Chain A
Amino acid sequence: MTIEELDQIAASARSEREKFEHEINVCHGTGCLSQHSDRVKESIAQALQALGKNAYVRRTGCMGLCAAGPLVLVDPEGSLYQHVNPSHAEKIAASLDDKPVEELQCNLREHFDQQVHIVLENSGRIDPERVEDYIASDGYRALLMALNDMTPQGVVRQITESGLRGRGGGGYPTGLKWGTVAKAKGDVKYVICNGDEGDPGAFMDRSVLESDPHRVLEGMAIAAYAVGASKGYIYVRAEYPLAVSRLTSCLRDARRHGLLGNNIGNTHFNFDVEIRLGAGAFVCGEETALIASIEGRRGTPRPRPPYPASSGLWGKPTLINNVETFANIAPIIRKGSRWFAGIGSARSKGTKVFALTGKITNTGLVEVPMGIKLREIIEVIGGGVPGGHKFKAVQTGGPSGGCLPESMLDIGVSYDALQSVGSIMGSGGMIVMDDTSCMVNVARFFMEFCMTESCGKCVPCRAGTAQMHTLLTRICTGAGTMDDLALIEDLCSTVKETSLCGLGQTAPNPVLSTLKYFRNEYIEHIVEKRCRAGVCNMEAAAEVLA
C-alpha cells in the first residue's frame, strides 16, 4: 500500500458516498445498542426503500450523548435525532428533502459547541468496521507518511514536541517514553496497547475501540516504527465483547490491505498485532501486571525498576500506552506537533475524553480541550444536576482519584491541577454526585473496590485496604469512633507510602479527598450517628461488631 493507493481507496469511498443524496448515521455504540438501535437502522433502511429515497444508512460508533440515545444523525442536513425507536423510521425517511422531524430533534448546542474532537473525530461518523470509511477520513495516511517521509527519531521528536502525555492516568510524557524504548538495546521489542479499562465509571477506551478501532491500530503501528518493534499486543477486557469483535475484524482488514503485516507501505517495516483478552483484574492496568497477564501468569505487579521500557514483555524492551494515547498519534503526525501543542493548557496539551456519568443530565462521552474548567464540563456540557437536586461532588480518576466539592469546580482540567487538589486526571471517568450521595459511603464503596481488586502480593495493599474497609464500614453503620478515624488516617499514610504498585499507592485517595472536603460528614456519622444523605443504615452496628 502506497499513499497513492490510499488516495485511490479514499476517492472511491467518497465517490461511492456521493451517489447518495443523504447519509443517515445510526449510533451503534454500547449505550444506543442496548436500546436496540440496530432495529432502528433496519427500520430506517426498510422505510427508505419503501419510499424510494436515495440515502445511505450507516451504522456508526458512539455519538457521545448516550443520555439521549438511540441517536440518529442525518447528513448533509446535520439533523441530530434523539430517543429514536423503530416507529420513527418512516417519519425520518419521509423528512429527507423536507423539513427535519421537529419532535425528535436534539437541540443541545451548548453540549457540542464546547467540545473539541480529536480522538473522537470519527466516532459516530464512520462505520468502525469499514476500513474504507476510515481511509476516507485520512486514515492510515499518518502511518504511510511516517514510514515514507520520517525517520523513527523524527517520529519520536514530533510526539515529544506535541507535549502529549499518557492518557491512562499517570500523565507520563509520551515522547519521553517512546524515546527510552527506542534507545533501549535489543533486537526484539514490543508495543502493547493497554485497553484494560478496569476503572469503574469509565468507558472512553471501550468507546474508542468500538467506534474507531483502526485509529488505535494506526497509532500502534506508528509507535512500533518509532521504537523499532515488530510485534504488538492489544490487551482488551473480556467484558467488552463488541470491542473485541470489531478489533478482530479490523485487524483482518488492515492485514488484507497491507497496513499490518510484512513490508507495510512497501517499506521494510513489519508489524502485526495480536489481541489478548483480560479476565477481570483491575490491577492489570498496571503495566508490569499487564505484562505478567500477557505472559499467562497471575497479574501481580513487580517492583520497578527495571521499567518495561528496558525489560518488559519476556524481558524485552516494551512500550505500553493506553488506547486514548494511541488514538492521538495519527492526528499529531498528520497535522503536526505545533497544531496539537496549540490546544490545551501550558503543561497538559491536547484534549481529554471524559465519561460523564452519575447525577448529571447529559450522560455520555465528551472530549474537551485540556484546561477547561470543571464547572463548564458539568454545568454547560453536562447540563447540570437533574431533578432539582444539589451538586455535591465530582469524582475523577476512579478508585485512584478523589472527590472534589463545589468550591473546586473552577480549576482547569489538567494533570497537575487535579493532583494539586487531591484528585487525579485518571483515565477519564467523571462521576457527578448530588445530595443523595453519602461521601463516607462513597469512600467505603471505593475501598471495597480496591480491597477486592488488590492482587494480594504486598502486605500494605492486601491487608491495609481490607482494614480500611472494615473501619469505614464501622463508621457507615454507626459503630465508628474517633479512634477509628485516626486509625484510618494512619493506614492511609502507610498504604499510600509503602504499597508496591499504583493500585495500593492510590487506594487511599478517595478516603483522603473525602476527609479533606467532607470531614463533617464523617464526624456526623461518628458523633451524631447521622447520615445526612440517608444512605447509611446507622442501626446496623451490632452486625458489624461481630
Chain B
Amino acid sequence: MSEVGTEVKILVIDEQEVSAHAGQTILEVARENDIHIPTLCYLEGLSNVGACRLCLVEIKGSSKLTPACVTTVQEGMEVSTNSERLTRHRRTILELLFAERNHICSVCVANGHCELQSLGQELGLTHVRLPYRNPDLPVDASHERFTADHNRCILCTRCVRVCAEIEGAHVWDVMGRGVNCTIITDLHEEWGKSTCTRCGKCVQVCPTGALFDKSKIGSEHPKYPDFLPFLNMMREAQ
C-alpha cells in the first residue's frame, strides 16, 4: 500500500480524466475507476515487488514502459493501459510463464479459479509458441493440511510476502537464482516439518494451484485473498 496524501492530482488514464490523491499508484487509481490492468504478483494488502511485468503501461512522453503497481501518479500524467505493443508483451510474458513449468490446467485443482489461466483467456492466448521447458519439479505433500506443487508455481512471491508481512512468520522464501528459483520453507525442509503456523494465508493468496488445500478435490478450489486489506485495516485501528 502506498502512503496516500491529501493533495489531489488530475491525470488521464485511457483518455478518461480521473482524480487521485498524491502518493497513489497508477494501478490503484485505475482500479478505483474501473479501468482494468492485468496483474499477477500484485495483491492489495501486500508490498509491491513489480516482478510479473504484466501491469506495464505506457506514459505519454516516455518511450519506456512503466509498472503501474509501483508508479505513483503525477499531475497531468497521460497513461495508456492498452495498446498493441502492451498486449504483445503481456501475451509473451504469459507464454513464458506457461512454458516455464508444467501447467496442466485440466488436472489442476485450481482449474477455473486460476489467475494465470484467466489471464491467458483474457489476453487471447490460444497456444504457446515457445518450447515447453518440462522441468522435473517436486510436489511437497508433507503438510497435514496443504500441498505445494512446484510444477504450478509462477514465483510471484505472494506466499513469501503474506507469510512475512501479514502472518509475521517468514516461513517461506525464495532459494536459488534465475530459472532455478524455488519457493522454500525454512532451510528447504518439508513444509510439514517446518515452522509453519498453519494459518493458510499463503494458500489463499496463491494465484495458481501451486499451494492448495488438501481437502479440496477436482477443480473445486476458489481462493479468497480479499481478507488482506481487512487485516491491515483492523491492525491500523488497534
Residues of A within 8 A of B (CB): 281, 298, 302-303, 451-460, 462-467, 470-471, 487, 490-491, 493-494, 497-500
Task: Tell me whether A487 and B178 are in contact (CB under 8 A).
Answer: no
Q: Which residues does chain B contribute within 8 Å of A281, judged by CB atoms?
A: 177
Give the contacting residue for B99; candidates A453, A463, A465; CB below 8 A: A463
Report the bound CA distance from A466 to B177 in whole Å. Answer: 12
A-contacting residues, B88-106, CB 8 Å? 88-89, 92-93, 96-97, 99-100
Q: Which residues does chain A contribute within 8 Å of B177, judged by CB atoms?
A: 281, 452-456
Q: Which residues does chain B contribute within 8 Å of A451, judged by CB atoms?
A: 178-179
Give the contacting residue for B178; candidates A454, A470, A497; CB below 8 A: A454
Given contact pairs A462-B179, A463-B97, A470 touches B174 in the complex (Cβ within 8 A): no
Residue B133 is within 8 A (CB to CB) of chain A in the complex = yes
Report the bound CA distance from A334 to B97 in whole Å. Answer: 55
Report the bound CA distance from A457 to B96 in whole Å. Answer: 14
Q: Which of B51-59, B164-172, B211-219 sits within the interface?
A: B51-59
Report the bound CA distance from A470 to B100 in whole Å. Answer: 12
Task: Tell me whether B65 and A498 are in contact (CB under 8 A).
Answer: yes
Task: Tell me whether B51 and A466 are in contact (CB under 8 A).
Answer: no
Residue B206 is within 8 A (CB to CB) of chain A in the complex = no
Q: Which residues does chain B contribute within 8 Å of A491, judged by CB atoms?
A: 92, 130
Q: Which residues does chain A contribute within 8 Å of B131, judged by CB atoms?
A: 467, 470-471
Chain A to chain B contacts (Cβ below 8 Å), 10 pairs: A455-B178, A459-B52, A463-B99, A466-B179, A467-B131, A467-B133, A493-B89, A494-B88, A497-B89, A498-B89
Q: Which residues does chain B contribute within 8 Å of A456, judged by CB atoms?
A: 155, 174, 176-181
Report the bound CA distance from A110 to B66 in whole Å. Answer: 49
Q: Which residues does chain A contribute within 8 Å of B174, judged by CB atoms?
A: 298, 456
Task: Tell me whether A466 and B155 are in contact (CB under 8 A).
Answer: no
Task: Tell me whether A494 and B89 are in contact (CB under 8 A).
Answer: yes
Q: Which residues does chain B contribute within 8 Å of A494, judged by CB atoms?
A: 88-89, 92-93
Q: Which residues does chain B contribute within 8 Å of A459, judged by CB atoms?
A: 51-53, 93, 96-97, 154-155
Task: Tell me whether A463 and B179 are in contact (CB under 8 A).
Answer: yes
Task: Tell me whether A302 and B49 are in contact (CB under 8 A).
Answer: yes
Task: Tell me whether B96 and A460 are in contact (CB under 8 A).
Answer: yes
Report the bound CA distance from A497 to B51 in whole Å. Answer: 14
Give 10 A-B pairs besides A459-B52, A499-B53 with Cβ atoms closer than 8 angstroms. Answer: A302-B49, A303-B67, A451-B178, A455-B177, A458-B53, A459-B97, A463-B99, A463-B100, A470-B131, A500-B50
Task: Tell me whether A467 and B178 are in contact (CB under 8 A).
Answer: no
Q: Which residues does chain B contribute within 8 Å of A465, judged by CB atoms?
A: 178
Q: Which residues does chain B contribute within 8 Å of A302, judged by CB atoms?
A: 49-50
| Nearest residue, chain B, Cβ from A456 | B181
Task: Tell me whether A467 and B96 are in contact (CB under 8 A).
Answer: yes
Report the bound CA distance from A467 to B53 in whole Å. Answer: 17
Give the contacting residue for B53; candidates A452, A453, A487, A500; CB below 8 A: A500
Task: Tell me whether B49 and A457 are in contact (CB under 8 A).
Answer: yes
> Closest CB of chain B to A542's CB: distance in Å?
15
> Closest CB of chain A to B28's CB: distance in Å?
15
Residue B31 is within 8 A (CB to CB) of chain A in the complex = no
Task: Tell me whether A467 and B89 are in contact (CB under 8 A).
Answer: no
Residue B235 is within 8 A (CB to CB) of chain A in the complex = no
Q: Which residues does chain A contribute within 8 Å of B52, judged by CB atoms?
A: 458-459
> Closest CB of chain A to B64's CB: distance in Å?
8
Task: Tell me whether A463 and B96 are in contact (CB under 8 A).
Answer: yes
| Nearest residue, chain B, Cβ from A484 | B131
Report the bound CA distance from A493 to B88 in whole Å. Answer: 10
| Nearest residue, chain A, Cβ from B98 | A463
| Nearest residue, chain A, Cβ from B156 | A459
| Nearest residue, chain A, Cβ from B54 | A459
| Nearest residue, chain B, Cβ from A461 | B178
> Closest CB of chain A to B148's CB: distance in Å?
18
Residue B129 is within 8 A (CB to CB) of chain A in the complex = yes
Task: Tell me whether B179 and A500 are in contact (CB under 8 A).
Answer: no
Residue B210 is within 8 A (CB to CB) of chain A in the complex = no
Residue B109 is within 8 A (CB to CB) of chain A in the complex = no
User: What does the 1/0 interface line of B76-94 toward A look like (CB < 8 Å)?
Assistant: 0000000000001100110
Task: Tell me whether B179 and A457 are in contact (CB under 8 A).
Answer: no
Report the bound CA distance from A48 to B93 in whole Å. Answer: 68
Task: Tell me whether A498 and B56 are in contact (CB under 8 A).
Answer: yes
Task: Tell me whether B93 and A452 are in contact (CB under 8 A).
Answer: no
| Nearest residue, chain B, Cβ from A303 | B50
| Nearest residue, chain B, Cβ from A455 | B177
Q: Which residues does chain B contribute within 8 Å of A303, judged by CB atoms?
A: 50, 67, 70
> Closest CB of chain B to A283's CB: distance in Å?
8
| Nearest residue, chain B, Cβ from A468 | B130
| Nearest residue, chain A, Cβ from B135 | A466
Task: Tell me whether B92 and A457 are in contact (CB under 8 A).
Answer: no
Report the bound CA distance from A287 to B86 in whole Å. Answer: 27
Q: Which residues does chain B contribute within 8 Å of A462, judged by CB atoms?
A: 100, 155, 178-179, 181
> Closest CB of chain B to A314's CB: distance in Å?
17
| Nearest residue, chain A, Cβ from B67 | A303
> Closest CB of chain B to A469's CB: distance in Å?
9
Task: Tell me whether B53 and A466 are in contact (CB under 8 A).
Answer: no
Report the bound CA distance from A445 to B51 in whole Å. Answer: 26
Given contact pairs A303-B70, A470-B131, A487-B130, A500 touches B51 in the complex (Cβ within 8 A): yes
> Closest CB of chain B to A291's CB: distance in Å?
15
Q: Which of A454, A462, A463 has the most CB of B within 10 A?
A: A463
Q: Which residues does chain B contribute within 8 Å of A467, judged by CB atoms?
A: 96, 99, 130-131, 133
User: What does the 1/0 interface line of B128-166 toward A look like (CB < 8 Å)?
Assistant: 011101000000000000000000001100000000000
Q: Which residues does chain A contribute within 8 Å of B49, judged by CB atoms?
A: 302, 457
